[in-house]
Amino acid sequence: PRQSRRRKSVAIAYEPGQGEGAEPRRARWEPRDWREQLERIREMRRSRDAPVDEMGVQTCYDSSAPPQVRRYQVLLALMLSSQTKDQVTSAAMQRLRRHGLSVDSVLQMEDETLGHIIYPVGFWRNKVKYIKQTTAILKQKYGGDIPSTVEELVQLPGVGPKMAHLAMHIAWDSVAGIAVDTHVHRISNRLKWVKKETKTPEETRVALEEWLPRDLWKEINWLLVGFGQQTCLPVHPRCSQCLNQDICPAARR
């Protein structure tokens, strides 16, 4: 008997958001001119002569120390750096290192001695308390090392999100997110690198991570901090010296 020829039906697999009746996929939002702005900021930062380059946290630890000690020194430098100029943080770290900066040496140090060494960093009295509390936790819970996740780092007394992300970058060479300080926060809003104005550095971090390619997350803090120290100042920004003055929404032309 003659077999009837049936056309085989072919199943068509659609990607999510595609296919008949599906809504067209929306293009990811990104700021206008951001790539050109970023390239020009790189050009302005080429000389690497801002305070963050010469005295930033990445320069404050003893590179010859054992890895665990280096990571502890990175975290301490970050804790000292809050509300403090890089020059002051660097000097305080040099004084601490002359005392043999380690978990055990700090635990054995009197609070008054520690305060005398780190003065005049911003809020030095609070930082003495936080450093002692955090160091004790590191000794008891982490065997003298620092945590290797942002979630654990921000649980330590005196450690905020920016410090945690920088600790991941510098101490662990791991990129878990963007480190946003006042410079990154300010410049991101001036350049309109956020969909709408953000009120806090943490809001800015979330907004940037939504669109900025992940391979730029580590670089962006270093770039914008130095740019903010030298050109895009908090008060009286040097717009006339900025290569972005013709494409910056906040430029004073």
From the candidates 85, 127, 162, 192, give the one annotated as an active-site residue: 162
**At residue 20, what is the residue type?**
E
Task: Give residue 59's pLDDT.
Answer: 97
Listed in sequence order, the DSSP H helices in 67-214 are 67-81, 86-98, 103-108, 111-118, 124-141, 150-153, 161-172, 182-190, 201-209
Distance, in Å, from the CA atom of 47 to the CA atom of 204, rounded to the nearest integer, reads 27
Q: How many CB atoms lie within 10 A of CB 224?
A: 27
Report the distance separating Cα 68 and Cα 72, nearest Å. Answer: 6
Which pLDDT score, from 0 to 100, does residue 13 have?
A: 47
Residue 209: DSSP 8-state: H
Show the low-confidence residues of the chain (pLDDT under 50).
Answer: 8-17
Q: How many CB atoms lie within 10 A of CB 110?
A: 9
Res 12: pLDDT? 46
pLDDT score for 1: 52
Q: Is 127 a catalytic residue?
A: no
Q: What confidence score (pLDDT) does residue 106 get?
A: 98
Which pLDDT value is given to residue 151? Answer: 98
User: What pLDDT digit, counting tens, does each position of 47-86 carry?
Assistant: 999 999 999 999 999 999 999 999 999 999 999 999 999 9
Q: 242 exposed, middle or buried (CB, 10 Å; 0-12, 13-18, 19+)?
A: buried
Could you give all domains of the chain from N- to C-terminal order, each with its CATH number?
Answer: 34-44+177-241 (1.10.1670.10), 62-172 (1.10.340.30)
Q: Are 138 and 155 in contact (CB under 8 A)?
A: no
